[in-house]
Amino acid sequence: RYACDNAYYVLQAEHPEVDNPDQRMVTDIRLFCEEFSNTLCGGRDGTGGVYEGVGNIVWYSYQTWHRSGPFGICVAFGWSTLVFLGNAGVINLVAPWVFRQERIEAMFRYVHVQWRINAEEVAFQDGCATEEAGVDK
């Protein structure tokens, strides 16, 4: 969609607040692929993925059923549900802050690139104070 119907031009002309869309797309695709791979197969740090997680649930459910019966299974899955809901609540609180941080970093990169592109003009016109004011926005 980015290359169709002059979307890249419309994005640049009508929405200047969107900076570096190509870099954002590449970064998003890379992060998606890495996270998807880590989710399924596990990370480089030795953490297990979905495959290992499903295997562990089946194995330990069998062990729990064998040792403590249906009550043990109910307690284990009840506790897991409570922990899941707690984690979901924490993630919902933290996600907006992560988004804000990434937006601020993107704006910093954009301003820095613009400053580097226009460095000669800024230097000749003694526009350092103006550029600093733009950075502080």
Q: What is the pLDDT of residue 137?
A: 63
- Which residues, at least 6 apart from 48, have a Cβ–Cβ distance to it below 8 Å? 42, 56
Q: What is the pLDDT of residue 35?
A: 86
Buried b (16+ CB within 10 A) or exposed e, 29-61: eeeeeeeeebeeebeeeeeeeeeeeeeeeeeee
Candidates 67, 14, 100; CA nearest to 75 is: 67
CB 64 within 8 A of CB 77: no
This prediction has a pTM of 0.48
Cα–Cα distance, 73 to 61 (Å, whole number): 7
Q: What is the pLDDT of residue 134?
A: 67
Q: What is the pLDDT of residue 25?
A: 79
Q: What is the pLDDT of residue 63?
A: 94
Q: What is the pLDDT of residue 9?
A: 67
Mean pLDDT per 10-residue section of the chain, whose length is 137 residues? 62 73 81 87 78 89 93 93 95 93 85 76 75 67
Q: What is the pLDDT of residue 121?
A: 79
